[in-house]
Amino acid sequence: MNRHLVRQAQQQQRELQRLMQHQQLAIEMLFAPRSERYKRIQAAFDRVKRWEVGQLCSADYIDRWRQWLALPISELAPLMCGKAQGWGPAMRQNSPFTAPDSQEPLALAELTSRFHQPYPGHLSAA
């Protein structure tokens, strides 16, 4: 098989895995108690802040994730799991919910058990 086709298939498989992770996360957050959802969102905000401070990520992703994380989960979930005007795959690839860093890698299994304090705007979205 052509190397290019193999690489393309591998990239598609990785994107499918990232999509499935974010779909699972979105479902969990949609049904999680408000306090747990708040903690997950705050953990994601904290990670985005570390990206900014350490200049670990493009300002485009930092700004967009901040905008997304400020939304109620009912609006965030479709963005994380959809095309998001062409940004979906790139945002899932560079996600504060799944991207490991030197301080604390976040695997999907950890997301179900670890929580931080959420952003106040998420208390209204039950």
Residue 47 amino acid letter: R
What range defines the domain where residue 17 resides? 3-122
Question: b/e string for 112-121 if b means 16 or more Cβ within 10 A?
Answer: eeebeebeee
Residue 124 amino acid letter: S
List pLDDT tens digits, range 48-97: 999 999 999 899 999 999 999 999 999 999 999 999 999 999 999 999 99
Evaluated on CA atoms 86, 7, 65, 115, the torsion sign reads positive
**Residue 99 pLDDT:** 62
**How would residue 1 be classed by pLDDT, with cut points 50, 70 and 90?**
low
> Do the beta carbons of residue 62 and residue 52 sit within 8 Å?
yes
**How would residue 98 be classed by pLDDT, with cut points 50, 70 and 90?**
confident
3-state secondary structure of 125: coil
Average pLDDT score, the chain: 83
Q: What is the residue whose two structure tokens read 């990670």?
A: 47
**What's the structural domain count of the chain?**
1
**Residue 27 pLDDT:** 96
Average pLDDT over residues 17-33: 95
Distance in angstroms (rounded) separating the CA atoms of residues 41 and 49: 12
3-class SS string, 6-43: HHHHHHHHHHHHHHHHHHHHHHHHHHCCHHHHHHHHHH
Residue 88 amino acid letter: G
